């Protein structure tokens, strides 16, 4: 059966767990391939395959999409910041965003605030803040100050691919055209089973009208007009519409527990 490279790699990892009881990953190999990855507009499949093994097996990452336009005094900014803080507090979870201003910055600031509190309490927070940035924007927006790692891209296509490659759960916060592009890719990948079943896609209620319009335009109206629908009846049913931080955290932790049990606890790192 045909499947995405992501699913192919995941199935291989699960097979290794079943047959050998462990997954051996080389940290030096990952570092070498990450160097090759930077700046590429067309990522060779062998490079992606090695990186996917590491990303899927070693790091649970929560992807928080959102608008670059919203300011630090907005309720949306505070929500995204508090959401990331709650997710990191609940478990060792990396936070991924676009790495720029607005809600991208808020998502990473949430991790930073948890880390600062931990320092005062002499605790260590190992979660990292990752920014998958885009270099070619007309306003020359730079990376925010809360990044631990920046992965810059010249093309939106490779940037979007990395978002999907490195993440295990996603929240779509309020946003515009850019956030909609990212949301649409999540919908497409989920529709054709290029994301695993336990990959949760949670959506802020601000997207409810768009979701309703998609279902009406692509499914309900064609049925009423006795023509072929452009999507399946249940293609949007997997979306979780919520702005409840406790609910989002609970969903992410359930997903993380499945990942930890199926893959991560079997990983062995070698030089």
The three-class DSSP label of residue 146 is: coil
Domain boundaries, the chain: 26-33+41-204+242-270, 209-238
pLDDT of residue 139: 76
Give the model confidence (pLDDT) of 158-194 as tens digits.
Answer: 899 999 999 999 999 999 999 999 999 999 999 999 9
pLDDT of residue 2: 62
pLDDT of residue 214: 97
Contact partners, residue 34, CB within 8 Å, separation at least 6: 51
Collect the ranges in the chain with pLDDT lower than 70: 1-2, 38-41, 140
Contact partners, residue 128, CB within 8 Å, separation at least 6: 94, 95, 111, 148, 149
For domain 26-33+41-204+242-270, the question of CATH label 3.40.50.450 is answered with yes
Pairwise CA distance, residues 129 & 108, whole Å: 6
Q: Nearest-5° angle of CA 43, CA 131, CA 107?
A: 140
pLDDT of residue 40: 62
pLDDT of residue 39: 59
pLDDT of residue 47: 87
The three-class DSSP label of residue 270 is: strand
206 secondary structure, DSSP code: G
């Amino acid at each position: 059966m045909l499947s995405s490279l992501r699913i192919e790699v995941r199935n291989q990892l699960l097979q290794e767990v079943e047959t050998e009881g462990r997954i051996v990953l080389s940290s030096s190999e990952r570092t070498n391939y990450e160097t090759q990855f930077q700046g590429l507009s067309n990522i060779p499949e062998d490079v992606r395959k090695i990186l996917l093994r590491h990303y899927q097996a070693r790091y649970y990452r929560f992807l928080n999409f959102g608008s670059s336009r919203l300011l630090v005094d907005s309720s949306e900014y505070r929500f995204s910041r508090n959401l990331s803080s709650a997710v990191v507090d609940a478990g060792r979870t990396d936070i991924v965003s676009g790495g720029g201003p607005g809600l991208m910055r808020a998502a990473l600031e949430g991790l930073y605030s948890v880390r600062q509190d931990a320092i005062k309490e002499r605790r260590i927070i190992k979660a990292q803040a990752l920014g998958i940035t885009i270099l070619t924007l007309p306003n020359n927006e730079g990376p925010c100050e809360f990044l631990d790692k920046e992965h810059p891209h010249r093309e939106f296509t490779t940037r979007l691919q990395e978002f999907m490659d490195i993440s295990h759960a996603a929240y779509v916060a309020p946003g515009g055209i850019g956030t909609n592009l990212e949301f649409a890719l999540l919908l497409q990948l989920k529709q054709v089973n290029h994301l695993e079943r336990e990959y949760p896609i949670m959506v802020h209620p601000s997207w409810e009208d768009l979701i309703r319009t998609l279902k009406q335009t692509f499914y309900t109206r064609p049925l009423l007009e006795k023509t072929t629908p452009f999507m399946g009846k249940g293609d949007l049913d997997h979306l979780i519409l919520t702005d409840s931080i406790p609910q989002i955290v609970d969903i992410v932790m359930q997903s993380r527990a499945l990942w930890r049990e199926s893959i991560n606890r079997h990983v062995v790192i070698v030089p």
